[in-house]
Amino acid sequence: MATKRKSSLTKIATSNRKAASAAVNSPVKIALLGFGTVGSSVARVLATSKLPGVELTHIFNRDVARKRTSAAAKCVPASVVWTENFHDILHSRAEIVVELMGGLDPAEGWIRKCLAAGKSVVTANKQLIAYRGASLFRLAAKHGVQLVHGAAVAGGVPVIPGILQGLGGDQITRISGIVNGTCNYILSRMETGAEYAAVLADAQGLGYAEANPSADVDGFDARAKLCILSRIALHAELDPDAVATQTISTIEAVDFAYAKELGCTIRQVSRAQMDGGIVHARVAPMLVPQSSPIAWSHGTQNMVVTSGRFGGDVVFSGHGAGGEPTAVAVVSDILAVAQKAVAVQLPVRRRQVTGEFLAPHYLRFVVDDKPGIVSGIAGALAKVGANIDSLLQRPGYPKHKLPFVITTEPCLTSTIEKAVAAMAKFDCMLERPLCLQILTIDDKAE
């Protein structure tokens, strides 16, 4: 009797082990939401790399007939189920849903449903993670699944997993860098003498910039990414709308000529710095010393520099956008989730944000030249307590439309903004003075 019971228990255990081993060996099923630039590249990488342990089973997109017959669909295995009904994904056996549609709605609601249904989610959606990340991460934790977003910042550059896994042991106090490839393409082309409008038109022609380029050139895309980086590097949850932004559209070719005389170039820099319980954050075109790694990135390259209390500076750089580089980041996330790699998690706190920095500034004026202009500007700066460091005037410009530059010693952003507002009212000013921070290696937030 005892022997009989033992043998039936052994049979059950063996059959359980067989079932478990079948589950372990059967590939993790993947569903894609969105078959656009990144979604189709993810399908191509999965099909061509034939990575073990994962299997693409479903693709969702609206107007699926158009997508199925596209050239990008040729690599998709015949076994994949195409659908334009989200519920087919929700009720499928896919364990990982990969959201690559973009935008807040319907992506947020659908991701919530997938997490609540016990499916892990991989996304590249920076707006969604910047604005709704905190509550989505809580929901994922509640249901014991993962929400991973390695491609949401800097596309193919593994800055998010690099910070989480590789720098979690440091105390990062500052992050700065270039996280918008469109602005970097425009500004690095202007470095060689091209005008803003012409380069923007080229960028639109090449598909680097949207017909309405505001999200890129006015800094809104970069500030969403800066907020994501602040969460993982500074453990600070920021309100993206509270982060100061400044457009690159007011930069002119002459600014690069003056920047060069100062040993600098101009880049759209996103920077955030921890100061007690407050985060100083800003996305703006800034003068960057040519010796800084940030100045070395050209074209659509991205670059992020982290500064840690113990480990010092670490630089991440590479292709920040594009279907295939971004797909590499997405597929890496898929593999990590499929192999049950648990991401490092550290407590994150909601933090106040200010755009105030203590930095030297570059002021470019375009004036109808008359005697007394420089003394008027010096007076306006003295009134707020800002000291002039240098004055530059290149020859060859007409007197009635003369661009010249003043740089200041380090002063607060709010101080210089007060002086600029006063100087903008001078009769001689043909346009509002352009005011840019000059990035220095040891500058401080205030």
* Burial (CB count within 10 angstroms: exposed 0-12, middle 13-18, buried 19+), residue 41: buried
State the nearest-atom distance from the C-beta of 110 to ligand NAP, in Å. 9
| Closest CA relative to residue 30, chosen from 106, 107, 135, 120 | 120
Q: Which two tokens stand for residue 363?
A: 């002021």
How far apart are the C-alpha atoms of 286 and 269, rounded to whole Å?
Answer: 6
Residue nearest to ligand NAP (CB): 36
Least Å from the CB of residue 318 to ligand NAP = 12
CB of 37 to ligand NAP, least distance (A): 4
Interatomic CA distance for residues 60 and 36, integer angstroms:
11
Least distance in angstroms from the C-beta of 64 to ligand NAP:
9
Task: Choose between 101 and 363: whose C-beta lies nearer to ligand NAP.
Answer: 101
Burial of 231 (0-12, 13-18, 19+ CB in 10 A): buried
Q: Tell me how crowded residue 18 is: count the other CB atoms within 10 A of its CB.
A: 10
Smallest separation (angstroms) from ligand NAP to the CB of 165 = 20
| Sequence-separated (6 or more) residues with CB below 8 Å from residue 95 | 28, 29, 30, 119, 120, 338
Tell me which residue of 394, 363, 432 sits closest to 257, measured CA to CA. 394
CB of 36 or CB of 311, closer to ligand NAP: 36
Asked if 108 contacts 128 with a C-beta cutoff of 8 angstroms, the reply is yes
Cα angle 362, 415, 378 (rounded to 5 degrees) comes to 60
C-beta of 40: minimal distance to ligand NAP in Å?
8
The smaller minimum CB distance to ligand NAP, of residues 157 and 269, is found at 157
Residues contributing to the site for ligand NAP (CB under 6 A): 34-39, 61-63, 100-102, 106, 124-126, 151, 155, 321-322, 326
User: Residue 283 or residue 373: which is nearer to ligand NAP going by CB?
Assistant: 283
Q: Is 225 a catalytic residue?
A: yes
Which residue carries 């003043």 as its tokens? Answer: 406
d(CA 266, CA 256): 7
34 vs 410, beta carbon nearer ligand NAP = 34
CB of 151 to ligand NAP, least distance (A): 5
337 three-state secondary structure = helix
Answer whether 209's CB lies under 8 Å from 187's CB.
no
67 vs 267, which CB is nearer to ligand NAP?
67
> What values do phi and psi take at 105, rounded to 5?
-125, 130
Q: Decide whether 100 or 286 has the Cβ nearer to ligand NAP.
A: 100
Choice among 11, 50, 225, 260 that is catalytic: 225
Q: Which tokens go with 199?
A: 């380069």
Measure the N-to-C terminal CA separation of the chain; round to a whole number of Å. 81
Known catalytic residues are: 225
